[in-house]
Structure 1
C-alpha cells in the first residue's frame, strides 16, 4: 500500500462498521463524519449535548436524521461513558474522540465495569505517507507511553503489528530503534532493541520480523544500511519503527509532518476496539485517514 487514499479505498463498504463518537459536537469531527457517510465508510453513534450537536451538525452540513446516524443525548460528563459503552455492548466497533479531553476519554476506556481494556498496555500507532517515499511507514509510540520498559515495548510491538497486519501488511518488518546499530550496555535502548529481536527469533513475539538495534537511517534507507554492511531483512526497508521513548517518537512524528509534509493516520491500539484519538487541530481529511486505519484494525 503506497498511500493513505488507498487505505480509505480498501474499506469494505458492503458490511459497514459503526463508530461511536464521544462528545461529537466538534466541527471538524462532524465534517469527517459527513465525509465518511458520503463515502459509505461507516455508520455512526454520536453522543453529546443536543443544542451543541445540532449547531455543529448544521455548520458541517450534516443532517442528524441521516439513516446511518444514531445519536444519544448526553451531558458533557456522560458522553465519553455512553460512547465507550456503545462499543463495549457491541453497538459500535470503533471509538472516536470528539470534543472531549483525552484524559476523560481514556478514564472511560479503562473503567473496570464498562471499559475496553484488553492488553496490559495501550499504545499509539501512527501511519505516515511521506512525499518521495514509495511506501507507507508506521511509528510507535508517540502519544501514550513515556519511557516504556522492555515488557511494555513487547506489548507496544504486539499492538502495532496487529494494526499493520489487519491493514494489509503480511509479516511486517519491525525496526527497534536506538542511536547506533551496535549493542552498547550503557545505552538501554540498544539492549532492549537486541532483546526484542532475539525474542522474535525465538518465537516469543510472532507475526513480524524484528531487528535491532538500528539507527534511524539504517532502518529506513537501504544505501545507509549497505554502507554499514548491515545484513538484515529489516534494515533499509522497515515497515514499523519502534522507538525507545516518547520524546524520540514525538520528534520523528512532528518532523515527518512539518518538515516532510507527511499525511498521517493514527489510532490507539491495545483496547478491545481501536480508538481514533486525533488532535483537535487535525482537519476532517486527516480524521478520515485515522478513521480508515481504525476500521481496518477493528476487523476480526
Structure 2
C-alpha cells in the first residue's frame, strides 16, 4: 500500500468527523472532490457557494451529501471571511480554499491577526512519494515564508516534525539544505542550518536527527557524501528537506512533480486551524490526501 493511501485509511478509521469549510465555491468541479465517498467518510464538508449559478451549485452540493450555504456576494474576500469566522466560532475545524486567487487566501488568513496563532510560525509542508524506493518525504517551506529568519525556520521545522509524527514517522531525519555543505558566514542559510543541527543534537526538537548545512547531492546520495568527505546520519534516508526559502522549496517540489513524476500533497500549519491551499500540481486524488492529513492533525496532533 502506498503511503498516501495509508494516510487516507488511517484518517477514515477515526470516528470523529470534523467540519471542513470551503469558500467561495463557484465551480461544479470544486464540489466533485468534496463529494468523493472517501472525503464524506472522513469529514463533514460545508460549502459556501456564490455566483450566478449559486442556486444550482447548492442543489448539486446537497445532492452529493454536502452542507451548503448560498450567499449573494461578489467579493471573494468577504465570502471567504465567512469561512474563517466559522472556524473561529468553532463551527468548523478545517479551512479549505475555494475558487479564488491564492493572494486573497493568503491575505485573509496569514495576514489576519485573528486567524494567526501568535505562538507559532505559519508554514506549508509538502509530502511527496513515488520515484524514491525508500518511501515518502517532506519538503518545507515551499509556499509561505519567502526568506525565513532563523526563528521562523525553527517554527517551520517544528511544524514539519509535528506532522511527520502524526503520520507515523519514527525519529524523522531532517536535511537542513544549503548550497554548500560547510558553514560559510557569507551564506546565511549555512549558518542557520548549523544552528538547527546543533539544536537537534541538544534534543531541542525531540526525537529527531537533524543535519546541516548539507547540499542536495550529499543529502540524497551516499556516494556523493563519501566523495566530498561528508559523514551524515541523514544521507540517503531523509524524511524532511528543510529548504532555505520558498523560491528553492517551490522549485524543488515542482521539479519533482512535473519532471520526476512524484505525487504531492500539502498543508498549511501553525494557524488556528489546518488550512488547505490550491496548488496546480496537486491532483484531485491527492486533494483527498490533504483532507486526510488535516483530519489526522486535529485528531492525533
Q: What are the ranges of 5 or more consecutive residues in structure 1 without an aligned counterpart?
A: none
Q: Aligned pair in 2 of structure 1 residues 226, 28: CA closer, same or farther (>3 Å)?
A: farther
State how many pairs are aligned. Answer: 295
Matching of residue 71 in structure 1 with residue 44 in structure 2: no
How far 1:117 moved relative to its partner? 3.1
Greater Cα shift, 13-22 or 191-200: 13-22
Say which SS state the counterpart of residue 40 (structure 1) adopts.
helix
SS in 2 for 1:293: helix
Match runs of 1:84-233 below 5 Å: 84-109=84-109, 110-113=111-114, 115-233=115-233
Q: Does 1:42 align with 2:43?
A: yes
Q: Judging changes above 3 Å, is the alpha-carbon distance between structure 1 residues 132 and 159 closer, same or farther for their aligned structure 2 residues? A: closer
Residues 76-113 of structure 1 deviation map (CA, whole Å, 9 limit, x = unaligned): 43321111111122222211001122232233324334
Q: Is the 8 A contact 2:217 2:224 kept in 1?
A: yes
Deviation at 1:276, TM superposition (A): 0.4
Structure 1 partner of 2:18:
17
The TM-score, its normalising length taken from structure 1, stands at: 0.88
Mapped partners of 2:74, 2:290: distance in 1: 24
Partner Cα distance (2:294, 2:236) in 1:
27
Tell whether the 8 Å contact from 2:61 to 2:67 is kept in structure 1 after alignment.
no
Query: Is 2:295 the counterpart of 1:298?
Result: no
Q: Write out per-residue CA displacement over residues 60-88 of structure 1, whole angstroms, 9 at most, x where no aligned residue.
A: xx541555x32222324332111111112
Displacement of 1:29 in angstroms is: 2.5
Q: CA RMSD in A?
A: 2.4
Offset of residue 209 of structure 1? 2.1
**Structure 1 residues 175 and 99: CA distance shift in structure 2, 3 A:** same
Question: Partners of 1:283 and 1:55 in 2: how far apart?
Answer: 25
* Alpha-carbon distance between aligned partners in 1 of 2:125 and 2:105, rounded to the nearest angstrom: 18
Range moving further from structure 2, 211-220 or 163-172: 163-172
Secondary structure of 2:62's counterpart equals coil
CA distance in 2 between counterparts of 1:282 and 1:27 reads: 18
Tell me the TM-score normalized by structure 2: 0.88
What is the CA–CA distance in structure 2 between the aligned matches of 1:277 and 1:152, rounded to whole Å? 20
- Separation in 2 of the partners of 1:21 and 1:213? 39
Q: Residues 229, 9 of structure 1: CA spacing in aligned structure 2 closer, same or farther, 3 A cutoff?
A: farther
Mapped pair 1:277 → 2:277: yes
In the alignment, structure 2 segments of 5+ residues that lack a partner are none
Identify the range of structure 1 (28-37 vs 211-220) with the bigger mean alpha-carbon deviation: 28-37
What residue number does 2:81 align with? 81
Deviations 1:254-300 (A, max 9, x none): 11011111111011111021100022564422321222222222224
Describe the SS at the equivalent of 2:25. Answer: coil
C-alpha change, 1:54 and 1:228, in structure 2 (3 Å) is farther
* Distance of 1:240 and 1:266 partners within structure 2: 13
Tell me the alpha carbon deviations over residues 222-267 of structure 1, each in whole angstroms, 9 at most, x when there is no partner: 3433444533332221100011122211221111011111111011
